[in-house]
């Protein structure tokens, strides 16, 4: 991955100049902060922050019974690369996705169109950025991929044996959605 190449080049330059401290800091800093990376409070704060600032809605973690699933769902995935590899996943039913897009654009939607998909992708991107910004050292040493958006009626997203996984359901108004942070590797 490109970011790993940048990191390796920085370490090589530090070695050439005799700066062993930079190498130690770059290789150990995130592993030593794993308790911050996997802290569910950081995910909750990121969701609350993004929904308040970007949509103007109060959003809280939902602890009640599992919401009734809609037949069609919208899922956005933003990958992490660098000192942490994994993904941020935003998943909602079509009704919640249209409400999110409506709050973003000021336009009502009756179907999942490209604007709704782009809006969900951008929300996922903002959530991923806000979440990684909560951990010192992660923000500057972890890049984000372009969002991928999946819509449909019958699909599953599967990741084998993640190092850790945060998964919460959130609500605003009468809409619910899920946000998952999956980490499959930490350097």
186 has which bridge partners?
84
pLDDT digits (tens, 9 = 90+) for 15-74: 565 544 444 444 445 667 677 778 899 999 999 999 999 999 999 999 888 877 788 999
Q: Do the Cβ atoms of 178 and 77 come closer than 8 Å?
A: no
Query: How many alpha carbons lie under 13 Å from residue 60 in its C-beta half-sphere?
Result: 5
Structural domains of the chain sorted by starting position, each given as residue range(s) with its CATH number in brackets: 34-186 (3.40.1550.10)
pLDDT digits (tens, 9 = 90+) for 106-160: 999 999 999 999 999 999 999 999 999 998 778 888 999 999 999 998 887 777 7
Q: How far apart are CA 109 and CA 126, in angstroms?
A: 21
* Cβ-based neighbours of 82, under 8 Å, separated by 6 or more: 1, 3, 4, 7, 141, 142, 143, 187
**89, two tokens:** 């996943």
SS3 state at 61: strand
**Residue 95 confidence (pLDDT) above 60:** yes
CA dist list (Å): 106 to 16, 50, 96, 101, 185: 55, 17, 15, 8, 39
149 has which bridge partners?
76
Q: How many CB atoms lie within 10 A of CB 159?
A: 13
Check: pTM over 0.85? Answer yes or no: no
**Residue 2 confidence (pLDDT) above 70:** no
């Amino acid at each position: 991955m490109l970011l790993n190449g940048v990191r390796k080049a920085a370490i090589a330059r530090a070695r050439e100049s005799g700066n062993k401290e930079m190498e130690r800091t770059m290789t150990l800093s995130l592993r030593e902060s794993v308790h911050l990376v996997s802290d569910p409070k950081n995910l909750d704060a990121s969701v609350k922050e993004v929904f308040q600032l970007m949509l103007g809605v109060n959003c809280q973690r939902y602890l009640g019974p599992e919401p009734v699933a809609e037949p069609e769902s919208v899922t956005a995935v933003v990958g992490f690369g660098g000192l942490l590899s994994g993904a941020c996943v935003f998943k909602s039913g079509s009704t919640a996705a249209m409400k999110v897009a409506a709050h973003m654009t000021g336009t009502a939607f009756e179907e999942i169109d490209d604007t709704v998909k782009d809006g969900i992708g951008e929300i996922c991107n903002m959530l991923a950025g806000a979440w990684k910004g909560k951990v010192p050292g992660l923000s500057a040493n972890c890049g984000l991929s372009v969002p991928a958006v999946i819509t449909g009626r019958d699909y599953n997203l599967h990741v084998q044996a993640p190092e850790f996984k945060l998964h919460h359901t959130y609500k605003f108004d009468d809409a619910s959605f899920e946000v998952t942070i999956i980490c499959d590797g930490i350097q």
